[in-house]
Structure 1
Amino acid sequence: MTPPEASVPEVLFERRGHLGVITLNRPKSMNALTADMGAAVLKQLTDWRDDDDIATVLVRGAGERGLCAGGDIVAIYRDILDGGHATADFWAEEYELNSVIAHYPKPYVAFMDGLVLGGGVGISAHGSVRIVTERTRMGMPETTIGMVPDVGGTLLLSCSPGESGTHAALTGAHLNGADALFLGLADHFVPSAKLAEIAEVLESEAADFVIARYAEQAPNSELAKHREWIDACYSSDDAEEIVRRLRTFGGEAAKAAETIEAKSPTAVKVTLESLRRAKGLNLEEALKQEYRVGLRILPGRDFREGIRAQVVDKDRNPHWHPSTLEEVSDDEVKKYFAPLGDRELRLSRESDDV
């Protein structure tokens, strides 16, 4: 009999030759990231950083569904009902992990196969060797649950070509491997059937040579084909104007307008402001900004309501408050970015204050 998921380690660490392998091991939960998992990965990366026998690190997900479907939002929901303190601590450690990954001195190879959402983007897209496949379904769907993209996602998407990152962030669209490459969230396309072989070769060969051998031409990005209306419609800094332009343009653009209008109005407006403010920041500055926003969203009604509607009651019928974009004022949006005082995020790799 297969033991229940809770009885096995949530994350596995292996040494295979000169390769350190990290396997997120909650397949029944699509490898959703918990606080314990994030802490364990952070500790292991710290240990391997100074280990001369480890030349490359690989992160992958157990099972067939994907690398990681994001943070464990059911656990976050329960914590919100209890005050939200554990979630604030989890985010602080998770963001530290994102920073460590981004500056890791050894090749950090991420198999972005299957679902890669939210926190899954954070544990992969900051790596130095980011591999997508024909099975990749990536996204930052936070506006769907009344939250704003985090784990450095606002910085990553603010750097995407034109306004494509704004479109991805506001709609929370699931992206295929080609779209992820276009957005700058990944580097290489490899058929999923080759991943096991790549992992084996990485045990003894340098990552650059291995990837050069196996990488293939990716399919054309569908997202890239829509650059004309995406850049034209999303260039405004006003969410209501963006929706108006999308409706006027019609077709796929009008569908995007409908999608945005179904999201939390507060989350949409704060997400747009977060993306605009992220331009020109480094990762640590962006993470600090996201932490400010997150801690102010945490006690709010929409985050709790979004999680309830999507994963608790699963009625997919959230009741947002305020219920329209017009009701969310600019002054209200600005409050999410105010300094936190002694609650500010502290990262090991400090930079100038935001």
Structure 2
Amino acid sequence: MSEPTEAPVRAWIEDGLGRLVLNRPRALNALTHEMVELLAAALDDWEHDPAVGAVVLSGAGERGLCAGGDIRAIHEDARTGGGQASTAFWRAEYRLNARIARYPKPYVALMDGIVMGGGVGVSAHGSVRIVTERSKVAMPETGIGFVPDVGGTYLLALAPGELGTHLALTGAALGARDALVCGLADHFVPSARLPAFLDALRGGSVAEAVRAQVGEAPPGQLEEQREWIDHCYAADTVEEILDRLLASGAPAAGQAAATLLTKSPTALKVTLAALRRARGLGPLERVLEQEYRVSSAALSSPDLVEGIRAQVIDKDRDPRWSPATLTEVTEELVARFFAPLGAGELALAADDFPQEVPW
């Protein structure tokens, strides 16, 4: 099959590999509904195709795999379209995330460069997740008045200690070593070795290719910060987390507190609740269903439109959150984000649930 060049997702088969390339480099490969559908169709086509032994996902351009969902489109839809296009996008996207996690063939994600938001969803649920020295992995949703989705609350809830809580609330970007520590990646391969890694995949097994090209990731930061992170983020409320961060004395804790104070107060409280609830929900599918409720509710929250406006549309970096303070975000307001959707629930199939859930 010849390699297509113009489609927003390039999909072709070569030497036993199903190749998927996100192909919107000018938009840092931000995901659209069309791209999600193209990815899902390729996975369906290749699942029982004997010509495909493994699937490899990468991104076009030099900057990274994927910067997330197309939040400009979400902003316009939430502002003028009633949110129907966004909920349809999320419904398809979250189904794709679950599909990737259950895919019966090796799904190799090259998480080189920027991997954020929706980019995490199409990569970090894969069976073989490769990071490089260029990787910057993040779930930065609280900065736009949103909550980590695409299975992000599932993945971050599984991170050691309270690392996931720190990352979800602050939106901090991880390098390769820290992504490995948090369980968002499996192997480090230097970016210069990626062509050789792909050659090895074409000529042999995934395990052999990994053994041939894997390297030692550069040092990270989170392992040495575990003491204050685990103590501060174990608190029951965002307010208490802030108090502990400010009292910690660790410079990095003070920086984290300053970062939290710039985020949407509503998004912070809903994110903390989503993470804590995710720990008891079981498999990924149940968490994605919760995330769909939260995302749908966010469309009617003023902070999502305002956050995208400030960060992406007008770029003044001065969002006016409503409510403006943590104390104004009541338990009742947070609970609205988790309200059942009735016939509108995501309702993912339960057939492939594992017998033992690693929580």
- 2:293/2:338 contact within 8 Å kept: yes
- Paired with 1:47 and 1:15, the residues of 2 have a C-alpha distance of 11
Quote the offset at 1:350 in angstroms.
5.5
TM-score, normalising length from structure 2?
A: 0.94
- Paired with 2:188 and 2:259, the residues of 1 have a C-alpha distance of 29
Give the aligned partner of residue 330 of structure 1: 331
SS of 1:67 mapped into structure 2? strand
Quote the offset at 1:46 in angstroms.
0.7
Structure 1 residue runs of 5 or longer lacking an equivalent are 1-6
- 1:284/1:351 contact within 8 Å kept: no
- Paired with 1:151 and 1:195, the residues of 2 have a C-alpha distance of 26
- Paired with 1:302 and 1:15, the residues of 2 have a C-alpha distance of 43
- 2:196/2:213 contact within 8 Å kept: no
- Paired with 2:257 and 2:104, the residues of 1 have a C-alpha distance of 42
- Paired with 1:350 and 1:76, the residues of 2 have a C-alpha distance of 32
Give the aligned partner of residue 70 of structure 1: 68
2:290 alignment partner AA: Q
- Paired with 2:218 and 2:352, the residues of 1 have a C-alpha distance of 39
- 1:237/1:273 contact within 8 Å kept: no
1:195 alignment partner AA: L
- Paired with 1:350 and 1:312, the residues of 2 have a C-alpha distance of 42
- 2:12/2:20 contact within 8 Å kept: yes
Give 1:20-59 correspondences, 5 Å limit: 20-59=18-57
Give 1:310-325 correspondences, 5 Å limit: 310-325=311-326
Quote the offset at 1:204 in angstroms.
2.6
- Paired with 1:115 and 1:348, the residues of 2 have a C-alpha distance of 31
SS of 1:226 mapped into structure 2? helix
- 2:102/2:352 contact within 8 Å kept: no
Give the aligned partner of residue 276 of structure 1: 276
SS of 1:237 mapped into structure 2? coil
- Paired with 2:236 and 2:168, the residues of 1 have a C-alpha distance of 14
Give the aligned partner of residue 176 of structure 1: 175
Give the aligned partner of residue 306 of structure 2: 305
How many pairs align? Answer: 346
- 2:140/2:172 contact within 8 Å kept: yes
TM-score, normalising length from structure 1?
A: 0.96
Q: Which runs of 4+ in 1 moved over 3 A?
A: 348-352
Quote the offset at 1:239 in angstroms.
0.5
Quote the offset at 1:273 in angstroms.
0.4
SS of 2:203 mapped into structure 1? coil
- 2:293/2:340 contact within 8 Å kept: yes
Give the aligned partner of residue 3 of structure 1: none
Quote the offset at 1:80 in angstroms.
1.1
Deviation readout 1:21-62 (Å, 9 max, x if unpaired):
000000110000000000000010011001011001000000
Quote the offset at 1:167 in angstroms.
0.3
- Paired with 1:212 and 1:279, the residues of 2 have a C-alpha distance of 33
Give the aligned partner of residue 4 of structure 1: none
- 1:285/1:351 contact within 8 Å kept: no
Q: CA RMSD in A?
A: 1.2
Give the aligned partner of residue 129 of structure 2: 130
Tell me the percent identity.
54
